[in-house]
């Protein structure tokens, strides 16, 4: 039976850890202008059980998941790296009557689901801490930092008991980040050393701070590896519904797909074509929420810019609030897909591609040159097709222009990965220009449908017409600028 899922909350913590011996004297913070008062609350007894997969997937990603009792923040904690000295902590309360070794709640597991997938989570260590605390207050009376002197007793599953002493120094929310260095100097002066581990769990499992892994030599392989890491990070952001996260995850998915398509020689992707199809499907699922998000922002801005007397009827409810409701529906649909076995297998396959050694290039093969040239030829071919459609007055001009955009996007990602900055810049200009055009196409179709519904309901449709004309004018401007943008791209490719 799945564990009950409590509500989660998020915090950002900035802290440093220090190794000390038993004889080290607690530091003094006297004389610091930023510390006016030190308060020493009663010591705390903390007990934590840490969870991971049998393969140590969380640890490999520098993530800890624990169930802690004691102290002021008892509950489930997931700690995620967020930069130097900084981590994001996701917390969930303990359930009343929770068993001593319960299952990880679904809401907690979901935070790291892109990493653990369908693998089991089980206890890997138990750590008990007796903590002496000093709360440091600034001249204005606000809390600026917390110093902890920890006596630690720990045991890995199946291992021997370990004991040590360590210090932690954590800035309070809103405190000056520069204060961390000044306070840390006091600890170093007292005889402390920067910790040789990233967490208590890392120490008990004998995991020193990891050096950054060497990047693949091939630039395209390196870029794909980086994007797969970004995909995992954006996955967590989407699950928490962070601002712009659906958009960024969708963009990252498309970057990976574009590079895999344009670099079959590097990845041998022709043998695993299903990966490309799955990436396309994932981007499509995310697109439902993203398209609604774009429309909501687009219409809210457009309506705000119109004179008040030109905004007639309940148009905000139909256009803005309606799009926001569709976003929530699309977001929930995205989460359903991101909790599926299908999604897990895609992530497994992508990581396997990133880890595999690429085949050596054939004699005389310039992979960067081949991929750039091939991607640009596709842009040029799409542009010719669009000109024929426009000259013949064909109805599929919009689709032809959209195809140019998609191919320019692939060229952009390939050029960026292989160090062709000017080509990437020019391709991005076309992508942006035709992205605005495509947004206009989608918006006009949506406005027409909504205007019909409004008319049927007896509502004033004047404002729908204004917005439709604005979108039509925008599309026309984009089309007029396209040829100049294509010529600039051509010159950049020739010079690359």
Instruction: Give me the percent of the chain exceeding a pLDDT of 90.
Output: 76
Grade residue 4 by pLDDT with cuts at 50, 70 and 90: very low
Question: Which pair of structure tokens corresponds to residue 180?
Answer: 């961390």
Tens of pLDDT, residues 291-344? 999 999 999 999 999 999 999 999 999 999 999 999 999 999 999 999 999 999
Grade residue 161 by pLDDT with cuts at 50, 70 and 90: very high
pLDDT for the residue 1: 31
**Is 78 a residue whose pLDDT tops 70?**
yes
Among the residue ranges 100-104, 178-182, 481-485, the one predicted with the least confidence is 100-104
Instruction: State the chain's mean pLDDT as an integer.
Output: 90
**Does 207 or 301 have the greater pLDDT score?**
301
Most confident option among 83-92, 370-379, 424-433: 424-433
d(C-alpha 446, C-alpha 449), whole Å: 5
Helix axes 273-305, 462-495, angle to 10 degrees: 130
**Is 130 a residue whose pLDDT tops 90?**
yes
Tens of pLDDT, residues 469-483? 999 999 999 999 999
Question: Which pair of structure tokens corresponds to residue 267?
Answer: 């990845």
pLDDT for the residue 102: 78
pLDDT for the residue 209: 55
**Is 386 a residue whose pLDDT tops 50?**
yes
Predicted TM-score (pTM) of the model is 0.85
């Amino acid at each position: 039976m799945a564990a009950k899922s409590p509500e989660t909350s998020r915090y950002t913590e900035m802290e440093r850890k220090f190794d000390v011996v038993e004889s080290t004297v607690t530091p003094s913070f006297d004389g610091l202008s930023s510390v006016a008062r030190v308060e020493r609350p009663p010591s705390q007894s903390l007990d934590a059980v840490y969870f991971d997969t049998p393969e140590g997937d969380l640890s490999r990603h520098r993530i800890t998941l624990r169930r802690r009792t004691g102290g002021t923040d008892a509950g489930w904690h997931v700690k995620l790296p967020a930069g130097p000295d900084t981590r994001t902590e996701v917390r969930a309360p303990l359930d009343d009557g929770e068993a001593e070794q319960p299952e990880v709640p679904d809401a907690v597991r979901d935070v790291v689901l892109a990493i653990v997938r369908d693998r089991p989570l089980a206890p890997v260590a138990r750590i008990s801490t007796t903590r002496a605390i000093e709360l440091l207050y600034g001249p204005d009376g606000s809390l600026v930092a917390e110093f902890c002197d920890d006596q630690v007793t720990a045991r890995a599953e199946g291992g021997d008991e370990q004991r040590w002493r360590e210090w932690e120094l954590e800035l309070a929310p809103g405190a000056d980040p520069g204060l961390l260095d000044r306070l840390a100097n006091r600890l170093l002066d007292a005889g402390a050393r920067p910790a040789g581990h990233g967490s208590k769990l890392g120490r008990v499992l004998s995991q020193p701070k990891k050096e950054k892994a060497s990047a693949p030599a091939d630039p395209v392989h390196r870029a794909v590896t980086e994007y797969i890491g970004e995909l995992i990070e954006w996955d967590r952001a989407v699950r928490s519904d962070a601002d712009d996260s659906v958009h960024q995850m969708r963009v990252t998915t498309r970057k990976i797909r574009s590079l895999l398509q344009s670099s079959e020689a590097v990845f041998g992707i022709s043998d695993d074509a299903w990966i490309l199809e799955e990436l396309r499907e994932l981007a499509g699922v995310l697109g439902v929420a993203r398209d609604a998000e774009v429309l909501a922002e687009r219409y809210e801005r457009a309506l705000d810019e119109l004179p008040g007397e030109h905004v007639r009827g309940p148009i905000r409810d139909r256009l803005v609030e309606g799009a926001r409701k569709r976003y929530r529906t699309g977001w929930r649909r995205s989460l359903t897909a991101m909790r599926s076995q299908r999604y897990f297998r895609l992530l497994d396959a992508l990581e396997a591609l990133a880890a595999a050694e690429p085949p050596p290039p054939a004699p005389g093969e310039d992979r960067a040159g081949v991929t750039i040239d091939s991607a640009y030829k596709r842009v040029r071919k799409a542009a010719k097709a669009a000109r024929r459609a426009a000259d013949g007055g064909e109805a599929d001009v919009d689709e032809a222009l959209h195809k140019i955009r998609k191919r320019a996007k692939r060229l952009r990602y390939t050029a960026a990965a292989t160090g062709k900055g000017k080509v990437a810049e020019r391709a991005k200009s076309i992508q942006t220009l035709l992205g605005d055009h495509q947004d206009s196409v989608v918006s006009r179709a949506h406005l027409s449908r909504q205007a019909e519904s409004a008319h049927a309901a007896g509502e004033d449709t004047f404002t729908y017409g204004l917005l439709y004309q604005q979108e039509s004018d925008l599309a026309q401007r984009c089309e007029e600028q396209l040829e100049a943008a294509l010529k600039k791209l051509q010159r950049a490719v020739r010079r690359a």
